Amino acid sequence: MNQLEQLKQFTTVVADTGDFQAMKAFAPRDATTNPSLILKAVQKDEYRPLLERAVRDHAAHGMAHIVDQLLVAFGLEILKIIPGRVSTETDARLSFDTEGTIAKGRELIGLYEAAGISRERVLIKIASTWEGIRAARVLEQQGIHCNMTLLFSLPQAVACADAGAQLISPFVGRIYDWYKKASGLDYAAADDPGVQSVKRIYSYYRKFDQRTEIMGASFRNIGQIVELAGCDLLTISPDLLQKLADSDAPVLRRLSPQQAQASDQQKIVLDEKAFRSMLNDDAMATEKLAEGIRLFCADTVKLEALIAALR
């Protein structure tokens, strides 16, 4: 078996892309999108009709409605290809707006359900701010499942699990980027700070029987991926999926519930003050969360500009 086939024995593989052809090629169970991936996709000729149709069919509505229709249009096409779930992101500009995030999550699910898709096949992506996590608690209670993104630290992961979020997406590659820049070191996979962060979260969740799924994300190389074999899910870009498919090097299971039970993790109790304090104490997590929100906001604005040019 190649590395991708071996990995699928231990971990659910998810495609991190808006490219339908890549999904067909690598047969992932689930797929994730974000504003940056959608922006990249609609600038390709083969996906331009989705953008044009969203603008044409909803021209009488406001910009936010057209953007939502475009995101859901991509999601609907993806769900024709994959057997599992698609993740669709809320507007990053709502990252500090609990009520706004709740409303947007309901709107997106409403669009999917109007198209005949069960909410069980959709995850609403929300930034792992305190406000976003509060919104996820409410949405989960209403049967709207959430994928908590832009997650860089154990306190964020603990708060998401406490809120009952369906899934978290710790960003391995962006953690690696920060530490590489700060230290000047190029880490081996086993010592990679992003890999170590996901391993800590996995150990904590399994030791304390948290039901929230862990989906490692934002990978820079296949070493990071292979080192997390056994994680619940891993969302992987098409270029790295191809590299895994092209290699027959062995893949061993690195994470297991049995190992987690033997860890020395201590239970963390969080309220808002403790969450904000612990996050603030982590310079990497604080900086990467803020940067990630800014980047997603910027790409949403660029997407809106493309739409405005067609109206």
Active site positions, annotated: 125
Strand partners of residue 93: none
Please state, in angstroms and rounded to a whole number, the distance separating the CA atoms of residues 219 and 16.
10
Tokens of 22: 């890549």
* Contact by Cβ (8 Å): 34, 149: yes
- 161 vs 206: CA distance, rounded Å: 11
The residues, any chain, with a CB within 8 Å of residue 104's CB and separated by 6 or more, are 68, 90, 91, 94
Are the CB atoms for 70 and 42 separated by under 8 Å? yes
**Helix or strand or coil: residue 115?**
coil
Which of these, 7, 37, 8, 3, lies nearest to 22 by C-alpha position? Answer: 37
